[in-house]
């Protein structure tokens, strides 16, 4: 039986096991998916287990999407350009990395009909997910800016954000994620003045940021789409499972 898993630091909020288990059922695939909470120094061990055949693939989440890259044998051009990996697979005994966060976010923009061409887009956070979001926005013609609490190079600070004209605001930080709900990475004033507000957090579905912005664009669609894309890579086949069917199976209250 094939084994897959999610590598991350804190995974109590994750729906990944439920989603991938549903995919396995739908494909009549005998496989398991585990939430593998781990420390940074354990990543190399998991990649070795992948190469030895104990695991068949991993998803990678906060805070290891950049760190994981040093342990991989091959990284595809898309992930190299983005600068982060969220999906790992094995081929001929070698560990490969790619990025399906990009696909998930791109599909989210299409699903919610968010036009970003020539729009001023501000990305909260500079972690692995922010890099995929940035690439997707740029590929659709967005003018992107990173917002950081410790700005580097061309980043801007949260204080500077207060003076900006924000067409699109995307939160890629964990601020507001379960179990630390009820907090937002920006003030209510910034949320309200922004054109389109997207929070890639999916638990809870309505973060404080989305409440303040009166927006419904959370990270659930991105989560499902990136998971299905990862499964296509692992299984070597096209997968056409409707988003609605996956969400119904997750049964989020």
Q: What pLDDT sits at residue 117? A: 98
Model pLDDT for residues 36-61, shown as the tens digit of each residue: 999 999 999 999 999 999 999 999 99
Domain 2-99+221-250, CATH number (from 3.30.70.120, 3.40.50.2000, 3.40.630.10, 3.40.50.10860): 3.40.50.10860
Rounded alpha-carbon distances, angstroms, from residue 40 to 5, 37, 92, 174: 16, 10, 25, 18
Alpha helices in 27-100 (DSSP H): 43-51, 77-82
Burial string for 88-124 (b: 16+ CB within 10 Å, else e) reads bbbeeeebbbbbbbbbbbbbbbeeeebebeebbbbbb
Model pLDDT for residues 203-247, shown as the tens digit of each residue: 999 999 999 999 999 999 999 999 999 999 999 999 999 999 999
Which residues are catalytically annotated?
A: 65
> Which candidate, 185, 180, 147, 140, places its Cα nearest to that of 163?
147
Query: pTM for the complete prediction?
Result: 0.94
pLDDT at 26 over 90: yes
Q: What pLDDT sits at residue 252? A: 67
Fold of 113-216: Rossmann fold (3.40.50)
From-to residues of CATH 3.40.50.10860 in the chain:
2-99+221-250
Instruction: Tell me how far the alpha carbon of residue 78 is from its chain's centroid.
Output: 15
Question: Band of the pLDDT at 13, cuts 50, 70, 90?
Answer: confident
Model pLDDT for residues 145-202, shown as the tens digit of each residue: 999 999 988 999 999 999 999 999 999 999 999 999 999 999 999 999 999 999 999 9
Rounded alpha-carbon distances, angstroms, from residue 47 to 3, 59, 190: 13, 12, 42
From-to residues of CATH 3.40.50.720 in the chain:
113-216
Model pLDDT for residues 184-196, shown as the tens digit of each residue: 999 999 999 999 9
């Amino acid at each position: 039986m094939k084994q897959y898993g999610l590598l991350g630091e804190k995974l109590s909020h994750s729906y990944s096991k439920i989603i991938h288990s549903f995919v396995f059922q739908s494909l009549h695939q005998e496989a398991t998916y585990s939430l593998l909470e781990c420390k940074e120094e354990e990543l190399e061990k998991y990649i070795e287990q992948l190469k030895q055949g104990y695991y068949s693939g991993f998803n990678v989440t906060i805070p290891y999407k950049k760190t994981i890259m040093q342990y991989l044998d091959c990284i595809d051009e898309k992930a190299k350009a983005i600068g982060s990996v969220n999906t790992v697979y094995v081929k001929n005994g070698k560990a490969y990395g790619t990025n399906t966060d990009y696909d998930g976010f791109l599909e989210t923009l299409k699903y919610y009909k968010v036009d970003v061409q020539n729009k001023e887009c501000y990305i909260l956070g500079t972690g692995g997910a922010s890099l995929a979001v940035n690439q997707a926005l740029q590929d659709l013609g967005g003018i992107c800016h990173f917002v950081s609490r410790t700005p580097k190079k061309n980043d801007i600070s949260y204080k500077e954000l207060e003076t900006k004209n924000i067409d699109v605001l995307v939160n890629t930080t964990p601020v507001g994620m379960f179990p630390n709900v009820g907090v937002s990475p920006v003030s209510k004033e910034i949320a309200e003045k922004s054109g389109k507000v997207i929070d890639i957090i999916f638990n809870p579905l309505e973060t404080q940021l989305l409440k303040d912005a009166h927006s419904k664009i959370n990270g659930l669609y991105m989560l499902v789409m990136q998971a299905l894309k990862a499964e296509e890579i692992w299984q070597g086949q096209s997968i056409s499972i409707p988003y609605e069917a996956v969400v119904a199976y997750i049964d989020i209250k």
